[in-house]
Amino acid sequence: MEVENKQIIFKGYIEGPPKETDMEFKVGKKIKLEAPKGSGAFLVKNLYLSCDPYMRGRMRDFHGSYIPPFTPGSVIEGFGVSKVLDSDNPKFKPGDLVSGLTGWEEYSLIYRTEQLRLIEPNDIPLSYYLGLLGMPGFTAYAGFYEVCAPRKGDYIFVSAASGAVGQLVGQLGKLHGCYVVGSAGSSKKVDLLKTKLGFDEAFNYKEEKDLDAALKRYFPEGIDIYFDNVGGDMLDAALLNMRIHGRIAVCGMVSQHSTSNPQGTQNLFSLITKRITMKGFLQSDYLHLYPRFLEDVISLYKQGKIVYIEDMNEGLESAPAAFVGLFAGNNVGKQVIRVAAL
């Protein structure tokens, strides 16, 4: 049986923030819903796709990063939750639900099967495997516990705090007995941080003329941990407000600094005077902790101790606009695309 396969194609390498016209929605070649014999591959129906800022880094022709660039003219690759329809691989069978790297299309034939994991059946929303239980959630977990070295009572600042990573960092901070303040880019997000996500305080950075003054207002004693999802001016302001032996986890700067002429960070001398440790990290260096993460976070979620906010768009066609919207802060919570029903 052959079916149509709608796809989002990456058109070519870009400068600056991504635009919808950098991607093309089209109906691809008809595809047989089967995995070729002897291939070791499996064929999936994609249910949910993830829009993540790191994907901007794959839209430039630079091979020196931790993940290769997209191939112009090919389907965009990203994290997804999918259902196996046919399999030539003994580890996956029809009906299995999987999460991991797939294509921005209705059906994908997966050859790099090691890039997906089976989802154990439970009563957690499937799309959470792209956020709370996926790469962003694991980034928050590994970054918080392994990079930030938190202690009870620490003063924690999280930027892009309502985003896919930040919202979990803040909640883990509260559960750890810390004081947590987040910044975000709209009053709606600030409200969510304070009312739904349990942050002690939150502010809209777009309404602050002086970020240094804003941080001094919320952290009169200074910041022990800055979980940096943005870089730029906010990093500079945080550097001025760190406490002695503070830690800065550098997480999302890639998204801001994917331009060829990044803004300079001026206040690095604070690293010395405050003896700060600033560490960049990728969740993929901590995969040995993934089983513990899954167990911990599923348990916390089931106990009602953490929540997770998603921004769900409907239909594959909506993916380019949703992705572009990340860079304008249009999303409220983790940006996900629903491609098909289970």
Query: What is the contact surface with a second copy in residues (CB under 8 A)?
Result: 64-66, 231, 235, 245, 250-251, 253-254, 257-258, 261-282, 285
Pairwise CA distance, residues 171 & 125, whole Å = 19
Report the residue number, 284 or 299, with the smaller CB distance to a second copy.
284
Shortest CB 325 distance to a second copy, Å:
22
Shortest CB 251 distance to a second copy, Å:
7
Pairwise CA distance, residues 110 & 117, whole Å = 12
Its sign, for the CA torsion 97, 100, 104, 108, is: negative
Shortest CB 276 distance to a second copy, Å:
5
DSSP state of 298: H
Shortest CB 299 distance to a second copy, Å:
29
Pairwise CA distance, residues 128 & 138, whole Å = 12
Report the residue number, 56 or 83, with the smaller CB distance to a second copy.
56
The two structure tokens encoding residue 128: 């959470």
Q: Using only C-alpha atoms, what is the Rg of the chain? A: 20
Pairwise CA distance, residues 44 & 106, whole Å = 8
Report the residue number, 316 or 326, with the smaller CB distance to a second copy.
326
Shortest CB 226 distance to a second copy, Å:
13
Under 8 Å between Cβ of 168 and 132: yes
Shortest CB 234 distance to a second copy, Å:
13
DSSP state of 295: H
Q: How many CB atoms lie within 10 A of CB 275?
A: 12
Strand bridging mode 179-184 / 242-250: unpaired
Pairwise CA distance, residues 189 & 191, whole Å = 5
Shortest CB 66 distance to a second copy, Å:
5
Its sign, for the CA torsion 141, 143, 144, 149, is: positive
Give ∠ CA 256-257-259 in degrees, rounded to 5. 110
Report the residue number, 239 or 322, with the smaller CB distance to a second copy.
239
Residue with structure tokens 């206040």?
267
Shortest CB 269 distance to a second copy, Å:
4
* Segment holding 117, helix H or strand E: strand 116-118
